[in-house]
Structure 1
């Protein structure tokens, strides 16, 4: 593959190790872009209980899921075009689509239109993959690792400030205020990308787009997630359920066969044939997919009302939830920063195994002890430490696993893997918690055993993912990966 690897950081003093004002601004703009999806997801998750009650719907799961489905389907194409026309340019395009979708949702007057808006905004889903790839291209070699770790640890900043912001808006202005804040947040990100972030000069050759491969992969995975989501209503052995799940899996198999024969594949199978890459994507996808999906059930627990005999939610306000989770959010930030430093001395696989274990243990304990502020705060320390390690390690392990010219592709695959597993696990979790639910006036309410089973599901998936860390072979260290990047760009 021939690449034009001229990059802005070639003009920088190679002896300079600090970020400086210019790179600090770029980092802040990319941090906002990288965490925008998470912020909107967090605020939407907090608002879902009020939305479900307002619209009298038992289908609230689709408020978050429909955007995820669009993101999964569009990822292969967005990643491909980013390599051809530029990562920043593609990031601007999908952020614009996100802005339009947020506007549609904010102006919506019924649940169906709200879902249409969330679907359009779903095109912003692959943004994180482009942000990490752009980071590797526009920062000087020795700043790539710290910048990537900082962006990964940005989840902690989001976890700290997001709940307070969400709580204030939701408590004072309701779910409609949350929808309008999404519009404002996306608009700020779009302006920052346009005027602060430089374009990467790294390009792939302009080759024909493998439309068939992209449709088979994106459509197949989307079909599986959708089939799982509808399985409870249709029946798990019904023709519709089996058609969507079976047809989706068949499409993925055909995709593998097609990609091995076309001259310009959407995702080169040879990339996934390398053990370090596929094992890293599998493990990080499982752990991060379960971590993200876990937040949905946790927010239902704390924000759903307490109604004896009907609902065993804790009935907290969003602001109270923010105060309760704040100490662990601070801990997550500190741990992610510390992990970014430790990974230069300790094998990233060992750190990931420790982080995954702590996360699984913490969530398993919460499944049994989630009835008071004290329980959620103190047990949350365990999972908070684990999550801080995991979120910092995911982008770093991708850098360690792929070549510079494969960065966008690698981030795209990892992002898609996490998104698919998040979607499937979220749908399965809603099926699990619905087993003991009560429906009143069109709204589903959940009993205590429902939340317990949901948390145990996520803890089990994270535990399995952690055990699979043993599959990941040793690769280049972060410093060695950065040197390889610098050599290519020189």
Structure 2
């Protein structure tokens, strides 16, 4: 195969994996326009309907690290195809649902497919030429944000002008298209950890611990942060995850190699990922509400769901534009520099928001700036991870990093939710989050972003020890230069 054929083939791989990531993100935002109508649609209470959203988060948290490890053991292409199956089946189940239980089952199946993103990022290391690796990682990694930014207005338009079931039939078609593209365009690469065993006790332990933790974080506001249920779940999460960690350190083939994860470069990148996820999600919660709150409040802009989605859509487009540029920046200055730059851009977006939150145009600009920062940061984190772990652990390490981002979004959702619930104003018999509440939430987002930048600045340069047997290699020329220096 000559250079042009290889380049064309790798381009098809990158486009397919980016499309898979965008599709997975659309699955997550699919029901957002339906939140207010779900109790009527499913003939249930609001608290039961909320599980339609929560179950996707919980199932994805469990299956993302599991699918990553299975990708290392069985092959990433095989697991990408496997992840597309529950996306298809779950979409069809949701489309046919008329009550809450089948809808929750379908949404849970959709959550099982979220492992596509870390699998796709890890696969790039195997099939993309070195000179294109950074930009490819950046684009595929940012595809979740791109899908979220574009999926909301599309889902809003479909929900407003057609039957809600069309949303799920459409997602089924997208999932089928993803499966077909993976089947025909993604090469079959030998499994990096072939011959090792799957750590079933580790998978069950991590799943139980994460479900306990995320349930407490996501439902604590509804159940009460001081309730026995919430506190019991937090306590269970601590006990289970500590026990899981002890098991992982002792077993021969762990689900997550905690010794690798404890390396300063990997540990600090994952910690920064939590802060970036929190900072990203804060704006995604605040901006749509400011756009849709009634103008009579004095700070709301009175936009419809569809209009609000359209005002935010340029952010998703900007992320698509910035991601390849972030890859070039990584090639020139290294992924650490790109991560710090991205998080500082996010912080700058929050700074702008405090001055521009009074107009739709201003909030669109804020979304563009913060999305640009997310595009830079999300593209840099996998590059940092993959420059620090052996080839046999790329998928599981990326799965764990994706989990850290998701944990950040869950924490961000909980914190901002508490702030907006506590800082309220009453008008015409209705209680709204106050303007001060929104300003406080935006300041929290900016502060978290700045803390993320501080953590990113502490990430050490990659180091390769000659003769260690570790196949870890620097991801960029700048990192290689740093090693030589």
Q: TM-score range, shorter-chain basis?
A: 0.7 to 0.9
Given that residues 331 and 477 in structure 2 are in contact (C-alpha distance below 8 angstroms), is that contact kept between their aligned partners in structure 1?
Answer: no
The answer to whether residue 361 in structure 2 is matched with residue 374 in structure 1 is yes
User: Which stretches in structure 2 are left out of the alignment for 5+ residues?
Assistant: 464-473, 481-485
* Cα displacement (A) at 1:307: 7.8
The answer to whether residue 337 in structure 2 is matched with residue 340 in structure 1 is no
* Cα displacement (A) at 1:24: 2.5
Distance of 1:465 and 1:320 partners within structure 2: 32
TM-score, L = length of structure 1: 0.84
Distance of 1:456 and 1:173 partners within structure 2: 38
Aligned counterpart in structure 1 of residue 341 of structure 2, from 328, 338, 354: 354
The answer to whether residue 482 in structure 2 is matched with residue 479 in structure 1 is no
Distance of 1:274 and 1:355 partners within structure 2: 23
Structure 2 partner of 1:239: 228
Distance of 2:313 and 2:14 partners within structure 1: 24
Distance change in 2, residues 1:456/1:175 (3 Å): farther
* Cα displacement (A) at 1:40: 2.2
Given that residues 156 and 330 in structure 1 are in contact (C-alpha distance below 8 angstroms), is that contact kept between their aligned partners in structure 2?
Answer: no
* Cα displacement (A) at 1:184: 1.9
Counterpart secondary structure, 1:344: helix
Distance change in 2, residues 1:239/1:150 (3 Å): closer
CA offsets per residue over residues 253-273 of structure 1, 9 Å max, x none?
Answer: 111211221222221221112
Given that residues 135 and 325 in structure 2 are in contact (C-alpha distance below 8 angstroms), is that contact kept between their aligned partners in structure 1?
Answer: no
Distance of 2:434 and 2:343 partners within structure 1: 28
Given that residues 278 and 409 in structure 2 are in contact (C-alpha distance below 8 angstroms), is that contact kept between their aligned partners in structure 1?
Answer: yes
Structure 2 partner of 1:214: 203
Counterpart secondary structure, 2:461: coil
Structure 2 partner of 1:38: 25
Distance of 2:329 and 2:29 partners within structure 1: 29
Given that residues 86 and 203 in structure 1 are in contact (C-alpha distance below 8 angstroms), is that contact kept between their aligned partners in structure 2?
Answer: yes
Counterparts of 1:156-305 in structure 2, within 5 Å, are: 158=147, 161-173=150-162, 175-292=164-281, 294-303=283-292
Aligned counterpart in structure 2 of residue 306 of structure 1, from 287, 294, 301: 294
* Cα displacement (A) at 1:161: 4.5
Given that residues 153 and 391 in structure 1 are in contact (C-alpha distance below 8 angstroms), is that contact kept between their aligned partners in structure 2?
Answer: yes
* Greater Cα offset, 402-411 or 311-320: 311-320
Aligned counterpart in structure 1 of residue 381 of structure 2, from 384, 387, 394: 394
* Cα displacement (A) at 1:448: 4.2
Distance change in 2, residues 1:278/1:293 (3 Å): same
* Cα displacement (A) at 1:70: 0.8
Distance of 1:329 and 1:356 partners within structure 2: 17
Structure 2 partner of 1:131: 120
* Cα displacement (A) at 1:107: 1.8
Counterpart secondary structure, 2:194: coil
* Cα displacement (A) at 1:198: 1.9
Aligned counterpart in structure 2 of residue 120 of structure 1, from 109, 115, 124: 109
* Greater Cα offset, 283-292 or 181-190: 283-292
CA offsets per residue over residues 262-306 of structure 1, 9 Å max, x none?
Answer: 222221221112111111111123203431464244334434x62
The answer to whether residue 399 in structure 2 is matched with residue 412 in structure 1 is yes
* Cα displacement (A) at 1:474: 1.0
User: Which stretches in structure 1 are left out of the alignment for 5+ residues?
Assistant: 1-11, 484-490
Structure 1 partner of 2:468: none
Given that residues 25 and 148 in structure 2 are in contact (C-alpha distance below 8 angstroms), is that contact kept between their aligned partners in structure 1?
Answer: no
CA offsets per residue over residues 305-324 of structure 1, 9 Å max, x none?
Answer: 62857x97544234423442
The answer to whether residue 422 in structure 2 is matched with residue 425 in structure 1 is no
CA offsets per residue over residues 380-427 of structure 1, 9 Å max, x none?
Answer: 343233223213222322232223222112101101111222223223
Distance change in 2, residues 1:166/1:467 (3 Å): same
Distance of 1:342 and 1:18 partners within structure 2: 26
CA offsets per residue over residues 55-97 of structure 1, 9 Å max, x none?
Answer: 6625665433321111112233322222222111112112111
Distance of 2:274 and 2:287 partners within structure 1: 20
The answer to whether residue 469 in structure 2 is matched with residue 469 in structure 1 is no
TM-score, L = length of structure 2: 0.85
The answer to whether residue 107 in structure 2 is matched with residue 91 in structure 1 is no
Distance change in 2, residues 1:64/1:464 (3 Å): farther
Distance of 1:156 and 1:213 partners within structure 2: 30
Q: CA-atom RMSD, angstroms? A: 3.2
CA offsets per residue over residues 316-346 of structure 1, 9 Å max, x none?
Answer: 2344234423444443333322221122221
Distance change in 2, residues 1:235/1:332 (3 Å): closer
Please identify runs of 4+ aligned residues in structure 1 that moved more than 6 A: none
Structure 2 partner of 1:110: 99
* Cα displacement (A) at 1:245: 0.7
Given that residues 349 and 472 in structure 1 are in contact (C-alpha distance below 8 angstroms), is that contact kept between their aligned partners in structure 2?
Answer: yes
